[in-house]
């Protein structure tokens, strides 16, 4: 799966839009296979390391378990099924890197930051065995219904 933070994407798009070199090129992929991707296994390892026990087998097993359930369409994970089945593509971003060579931040770090945020705004329940990475320092008094006050 590819993940790129919106501030990185905005910087890349602005750089491409302002570059004369971009006029002679046609396609610009911002994500790249080396820096923007994270495997399903790694993502589940991160979730488990934070203290939320999640079982992961394979894409095929996920699809089978989800579709074999008589009420699969009512399952909260159902919308993810098609995404999980279609995520393995390699992207050539040579045109983008020729204009903006800085890669995306680590996807593992991004995934961790997203989980920490979702935990601190109480979107995710308390983990069974909380990780020390779930600190209150970065997101003090944050709620999904209020502004953070950060710029």
Tell me if 132 is assigned to some domain.
Answer: no
pLDDT over 70 percentage in the chain: 74
Q: What is the mean pLDDT of the chain?
A: 78
Tell me if 42 is assigned to some domain.
Answer: yes
Q: How many domains does the chain have?
A: 1
Give exposure, 34-45, as e/b (b: 16+ Cβ within 10 Å).
ebbbbebeebeb
Tell me if 78 is assigned to some domain.
Answer: yes
Q: Which domain holds residue 23?
A: 6-120
Please give the model's pTM, rounded to 2 decimal places.
0.64
Q: What 3-state DSSP class applies to 118?
A: helix
Measure CA 5 to chain center: 8
Tell me if 145 is assigned to some domain.
Answer: no
């Amino acid at each position: 799966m590819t993940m790129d933070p919106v501030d990185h994407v905005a910087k890349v798009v602005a750089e491409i839009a302002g570059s004369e070199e971009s006029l002679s090129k046609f396609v610009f992929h911002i994500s790249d296979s080396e820096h923007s991707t994270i495997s399903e296994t790694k993502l589940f390892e991160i979730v488990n390391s934070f203290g939320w026990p999640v079982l992961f087998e394979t894409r095929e097993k996920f699809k089978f378990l989800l579709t074999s359930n008589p009420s699969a369409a009512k399952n909260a994970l159902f919308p993810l099924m098609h995404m999980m089945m279609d995520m393995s593509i390699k992207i050539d971003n040579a045109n983008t890197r020729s204009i903006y060579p800085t890669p995306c931040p680590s996807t593992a770090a991004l995934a961790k930051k997203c989980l920490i945020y979702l935990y601190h705004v109480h979107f995710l329940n308390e983990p069974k065995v909380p990780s020390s990475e779930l600190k209150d320092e970065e997101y003090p008094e944050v709620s999904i219904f209020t502004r953070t006050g950060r710029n």
